[in-house]
Amino acid sequence: MQQICVICDRELGNKDTISKHHLIPKSKGGRNTETILIHNICHQKIHSFFTEKELKDEYHTVEKLKNHEEMIKFIKWVTKKDINFYQRNKRSNSKPPRSMKR
C-alpha cells in the first residue's frame, strides 16, 4: 500500500524525495511531538512561507497548513507534477532571511 503526502495528497515517491515535518518545530519545543511524512518540495514550501514561530503558534496542524491561501496555490500547482519532482523554493518576501532572524 502506497503512502500519501498529507499536504498535496499525492503518493509519496522514492525515499530521497520524502521528509519528516514536525508540526511544532523542534526549535520551539516540538522535538518529541507529532511528525508527518511529506514530499521534500511540500516541506520546503512550508518553511519558505512560515516562520518557526508561526508554525508553532498558528500553523501546527495539517488542516491549517493546507488552508493557508499561498499553500492552496502551491498544492494546486504541485499536484500536476510527478511524485518525485523537486525544486528548491524561493524564500517568501514576507519572511526574513535566516541570517536576519535572531
What are the cell numbers at 83? 511524485
Predicted confidence (pLDDT) at residue 95 exceeds the cutoff of 70: no
pLDDT of amino acid 97? 45
**pTM of the complete model beyond 0.85:** no
Rounded average pLDDT over 28-51: 93
